[in-house]
Structure 1
Amino acid sequence: MSLKNYWDRDAVERLLAECMCAGAAEVAEEVDRYLTGGSRDLLGTFVNGELAGVVGILHEPGEAMELLHIAVQARLRGRGIGRAMVEELRRCKGNDMLRAETDLDGVGFYRKSGFVVTSLGEKYPGVERFNCVLPVSSQAEYAL
């Protein structure tokens, strides 16, 4: 569900902060970009009426979608909520590919979710980054 009109912005910011290495002001700015940007969407999933997970996406030119952020409440992790959000994105019409970039901590999640993961090398000093690509349809090609 789109979070553009969701009433509890604090809950959104707390959850988004879990996947960002940023302070409160930067997280608030990122939420603003999602809420006002035409090519970005911030989607949420709920468990028993509570915001359980968020996924931030960028609609890329063409037929791809980039996952910019994905987070699940710490106490709810390991229940398949993150993979369910990815699966929901896979079913979006007109989307042939999902992309994400992650660090070593996120590689296992993306691999378990079916993404092809390749190293981008040390993108930042001492930090290896990884490109994750999930073709959605038979027409999609790996953009590695």
Structure 2
Amino acid sequence: MLCSAPILTPEIAALLGRAMFPDPERMVRALEAYRTEADRKVFVWMVGGEPVCAAGLRVAGPEAEVLHIGTRLDQVGRGFGHELLRGIAASLGLSQLTAETDEDAVGFYRRGGFEVRNAPNRGERRRFFCTLSLER
């Protein structure tokens, strides 16, 4: 079940943290942006009343950028991330979802129907732009 997350509980912050660079200061700044910036939204996929997947987005009208998405380790591979993104898109009436990611997560976006193209590398890490066009 899709839910908007008006409050970042520790459980939701931990899910988002799974997709963040493991630098405590950067994580604090990113989580604070979800609390303070009007264009940042957090959504959660709940199962049995428990959050199992969370996504943080930057929303701009009919388009949104996935900034972070993380699933509980014991729930990975069950499709909750894809269901969450599709639910968000439908709920917000989005025409496009985008994401920039690395080799660790590009397969997730490919399996979700995103078009993937190369992005400029950051240091030694390959990067990818992912785009999902949606009918409104």
Work out whether the TM-score is over 0.5: yes
Amino acid at match of 1:66: E
Unaligned runs of 5+ in 1: 139-144
Question: 1:1-144 alignment to 2 at 5 Å?
Answer: 1-5=3-7, 9-60=9-60, 62-122=61-121, 124-137=122-135
User: Please, which moves more after superposition, 107-116 or 89-98?
Assistant: 89-98
Whole-angstrom distance in 2 between the partners of 1:3 and 1:76 = 19
Q: Relative to total residues, which structure has the larger strand share, 1 or 2?
A: 2
User: Please, which moves more after superposition, 43-52 or 19-28?
Assistant: 19-28
* CA drift at 1:25: 4.0
What is residue 141 of structure 1 aligned with on the other side?
Answer: none
* Change beyond 3 A, Cα 1:23–1:41: same
Whole-angstrom distance in 2 between the partners of 1:110 and 1:94 = 20
Whole-angstrom distance in 2 between the partners of 1:12 and 1:25 = 18
* CA drift at 1:110: 0.4
RMSD (Å) for aligned C-alpha atoms: 1.7
- Whether the aligned pair in 2 keeps the contact of 1:101 and 1:130 (CA below 8 Å) is yes
- Whether the aligned pair in 2 keeps the contact of 1:13 and 1:27 (CA below 8 Å) is no
* CA drift at 1:29: 2.7
- Whether the aligned pair in 1 keeps the contact of 2:114 and 2:132 (CA below 8 Å) is yes
Amino acid at match of 2:128: F
From the CA coordinates, give the structure whose radius of gyration is larger: 1
* CA drift at 1:87: 1.1
The share of aligned pairs that are identical, in percent, is 29
Q: How many residues align?
A: 134
Amino acid at match of 2:82: R
Whole-angstrom distance in 1 between the partners of 2:31 and 2:66 = 15
Unaligned runs of 5+ in 2: none
